[in-house]
Structure 1
Amino acid sequence: MIRIMKQHLQEALKGLSKVVCTKTSLPILSCVRITTGKESVTVSGTDLDQWMECQVPAEVAEPMDCIVSLEGLREFIDGGDTRNMVCIAAAGKNIRLSMDVAGQSMERSLHAMPMDDWPPSKAQPKTMTPVTKDIFGIMKLAYPSASKDDTRRTLTGICLDKNAVIATDGSQLVKLNFTLPLKEQVILPPTKVLVSGFFKDDGMMGVVMEKKDITHVNFQSGAWRYTLRCIVANYPNFNQVIPKDEDLKNRIVFTAEDISMLEKSVPKIEGYKDDQQGIVMYAGRNGVKFMSRQPSSSVKIDTKAEYKGMETMAAMNRNYVMRALELGFTEFRFCDAYSPFMASGKAGIYVFMPMRNVRDIESCWKKLGITPNKEANMSEKKAETAVAGSKAETQPAAPKTGMQFKPQEQTTPAADTFEELRTAAEGIRQAAKALADSAVIIQRKIADAQRAVKLKEKDYKETRDLIERIRAKAA
């Protein structure tokens, strides 16, 4: 029998619920394993891609190793005084739980799953290196910039590099500075544990190698130990899309007062027709302002930002502006209204693409009563042609939408299985759509033919009836 303070057990189950699936086709994966030590118990759970365990102080009367439902255990200890002690004891093929509630002794039996059904533990790293708790906060900050498109599996994760944590979805990229004990890049999928920044204490980090690839990463933080399966793939060359400092001749520096004001006001700017997230930023002799793309909107958000550069009117996604402010970056630099913007600070950099082919941008100049100079009034097509012409020998022209990545190595990379799968799935989807459209057309033709047959039958019947009436009169 073992006795555990309810508060400690609740905290362990709360963390394990981020890994353990309560709804699964494998009942064993909805359970937790409780293993005793000398003066503690280890509560663990897995979903076969993640393994998580927590050491909990306990009074151990006799050794025990059992597997019980997480939901059943959590339901029994829910509510009441958190200082109460929970007793867990073996009872044949069941586990008996007991606890005092409002002065009354409460008991419940839970079915114990067979020990042989428990998945084997993953191999542990050969060495573990100390890391500070800051790494968990940085990973949490990076994940919102990763792709939400499951067909782009590599970009759904974050990349841990030697000196930074990187995330991108092809239209935005964040690179947060942090020194990691890694010799190679590691891509971590978006798990509930990491996305929520669950770990709060300093700890250790290690990797598991299989052949030449890093397949699993192990973290230790306080009483927790967490292992997860990595995304084994080549991450895009993020350095290629980061603008060079010498190209960023326009610079905006927002004040702390601006940051606080913009965080509240930018989300309230009126959207534009079918583009509710698009807004416009003006930077020039009249300061730095944000406004709606909607010609009928006269709202202009003034800032106290310092600006050095040419007069510019740029359309952008407000979510990217908010993201830069959320990361604490106060300095925005850019080359022109059509090239990547880079927000930066001590923590790192954030790069995002402005909008192109923007309609009604001229109305924004009129709102300010400004006639743009030739350089600012340059059409997008001319701007792209000029940029392409000046950089034709050094790099390819910028893409019309999103960021253009190059492979990290000069050698031809191996084909990405998931990219091939995505392409194949897209081809199947297009073929299925064409087939469905053809089926609709055929159904319409069949319906038309059926209506035509019914009309002919009606005409035939009416004609036959008329002939019968004529014959009857003639007789």
Structure 2
Amino acid sequence: MQVICPRKDLYEAVQTVGRAVSGRSTLPILSHILAVPQGDGLKLTATDLEMWMEVHLPARLDLGIGDDEDTAGFTAPARVFTEILGALPEADVTLDRPSGGNQMQVRAGRSDYKILGLPAEEFPGVPDVVAGASFVISGELLRDVIRHVLFAVATDESRPILTGVMLSFKGTTLRAVATDTHRLAVRTVELPGGEGEAIAIVPARAMNELLRLADDEGTVTVSLAQGQARFEIKKGKPDAATPGAVITMVTRLIEGQYPNYERVIPAGHDRKLTLETGEFAKAVKRAAIVARDNANRVVLSTEGAQLVLTAESGAVGSVRDEIEVAREGDDIQIAFNAKYMNDVLNIVETEGVVLELTEPLRPGILRPIGDNAQDYLCVLMPMQVI
């Protein structure tokens, strides 16, 4: 059986699944991509046994005399396959499996490759995900949810449970949570039509892939199960005349009990600072130039209608900056990490933000101002004012 599809589409699909290929495994088959003719297209699969990536690509299938419609497919080394497709001329590519052996034939224009592969039967199957909860979300909204929390994921492997994003779905509510113990980000959205309930801790790597792959005009079907999650990503508009590639990602989840993050969120506040997002972000960045040599410590002090930002460093010097603030409650002096403030200010899209505070050594909450202000918050742990 021959599989024929445009070089550009095939190249992009191979690059996509190739991100799941294992680079250090002792199992040779994990360095390969599995290609299986299926229905009206070609299914490409790669895995490192932590993540499985599949792309179903529209393609033309040509049956030769004696060919079987159901084939086990063929494998090819991911690196070689990708390099070949990147070097071929812009034309239709024909994939075939010569009789005998484990070869994949790749033809385009006057180029004809025969790539040595491994038996397709050795390739690990994609796990079945029996969902405890499932829902459909637009690609645009999913990307927004991920962006608002991913920056707060821990990079320190000493507490693996914090190196992922907790997804909680119940009723019609999806909540995404991430924390590295220095800051906590929570994003909540309503999704009518979902089923079941589940809590899943999705590795940051998988969330980064979703951020890259989700299409603003497409949809993502999410299935959360015990130990695994499945994401089916459909590109393009649902009513498009020509369907695009369908990408399926299955990932193992991080095991363990996620910390009780709700007890970290202050129940109330007695000081509230309302700030223009852009001006606040610029002022923090200016102060960070000095603060980076002093643990990124920036001190915020209210003086009437002004918010004063100061930072000091024995190696650089000092800085004092002022911006306008609308303040409720008494004056306060509190220090935060400049990088952590910038991380959240860089993803807030509203013109204004509020900083809710209690005491100098108690956490503060940064929220956007707008109709959906209660759907997002970031808790920032304070630093000692020196």
TM-score by length of 1: 0.68
CA distance in 1, matches of 2:325, 2:186: 24
Q: 1:65-104 maps to which residues of 2 (within 5 A)?
A: 65-79=73-87, 81=89, 83-91=90-98, 92-93=100-101, 94-100=103-109
- 1:446-465 aligned within 5 A: none
**Residue 114 (structure 1) aligns with:** 119
Deviation digits for residues 351-406 of structure 1 (CA, Å, limit 9, x no counterpart): 011112x43xxxxxxxxxxxxxxxxxxxxxxxxxxxxxxxxxxxxxxxxxxxxxxx
Instruction: Confirm whether residue 190 of structure 1 aligns to residue 204 of structure 2.
Output: yes
Higher strand share goes to which structure? 2
Tell me what 1:221 maps to.
233
State, as a whole percentage, how many aligned pairs show the same letter.
17
CA distance, structure 2, for counterparts of residue 60 and residue 40 of structure 1: 7
Which digits, 9 at most, give the CA deviation of each residue in 1:31-64, with x for residues without a partner? 1111112321111111112111111111111344
Q: CA deviation at 1:318?
A: 0.5
- Pick the aligned partner of 2:302 from 273, 280, 283: 283
- 1:175 and 2:186 matched: yes
In 2 relative to 1, CA 55–218 (structure 1 residues): closer, same or farther, beyond 3 Å? same
Instruction: Return the letter of the residue paired with 2:83.
Output: E
2:9 equivalent in structure 1: 8
**SS state at 1:78 partner:** helix
Equivalent of 1:309, from 329, 332, 336? 329
Q: Provide the residue aligned with 1:165 in structure 2.
A: 176
How many angstroms does 1:97 deviate by? 1.1
**Does the CA contact (< 8 Å) of 1:18 and 1:192 recur in 2?**
no
Tell me, yes or no, if the aligned pair for 2:143 and 2:210 is still in contact at 8 Å. Answer: no
1:139 aligns with 2:167: no
CA RMSD of aligned residues (A): 2.2
Retained in 2: the 8 A contact 1:271–1:293? Answer: no
Instruction: Tell me the SS of whatever aligns to 1:29.
Output: helix
Match of 1:265 among 282, 286, 299: 286
Query: Taking structure 2 as the reference length, what is the TM-score of the superposition?
Result: 0.82
Aligned ranges 1:334-373 → 2 under 5 Å: 334-345=357-368, 346=373, 347-356=375-384, 358-359=385-386
When structure 1 is superposed on structure 2, of 4-13 and 258-267 the one drifting more is 258-267
Deviations 1:172-219 (A, max 9, x none): 1000112364513211112255356022221211133xxxxx211111
Do the aligned residues in 2 keep the contact of 1:5 with 1:85 (CA within 8 Å)?
A: yes
Instruction: Kindly report structure 1 stretches of 4+ aligned residues shifted beyond 4 Å.
Output: none
What is the rounded CA distance, in whole Å, between the counterparts of 1:354 and 1:285 in structure 2? 22
Give SS of 1:170's match.
coil
Within a 5 Å distance, the mapping from 1:231-246 to structure 2 comes to 231-245=254-268
Give, as a single letter, the amino acid of the residue that structure 2 aligns with 1:207.
L
Residue segments in structure 2 that go unaligned for 5+ positions in a row:
64-68, 235-245
Separation of aligned partners in 2, 1:207 and 1:196: 15
CA distance in 2 between partners of 1:141 and 1:348 (Å): 8
Whole-angstrom distance in 2 between the partners of 1:196 and 1:37: 24
Map Cα deviations across residues 200-245 of structure 1 (whole Å, 9 max, x no partner).
221211133xxxxx21111111111111111232111111110012
1:113 is paired with a residue of what secondary structure? coil
Alignment: residue pair count: 344
The structure with more helix, counted as a fraction of residues? 1
Query: How far did residue 10 of structure 1 move?
Result: 1.6
Distance 2:14 2:207 in 1: 13
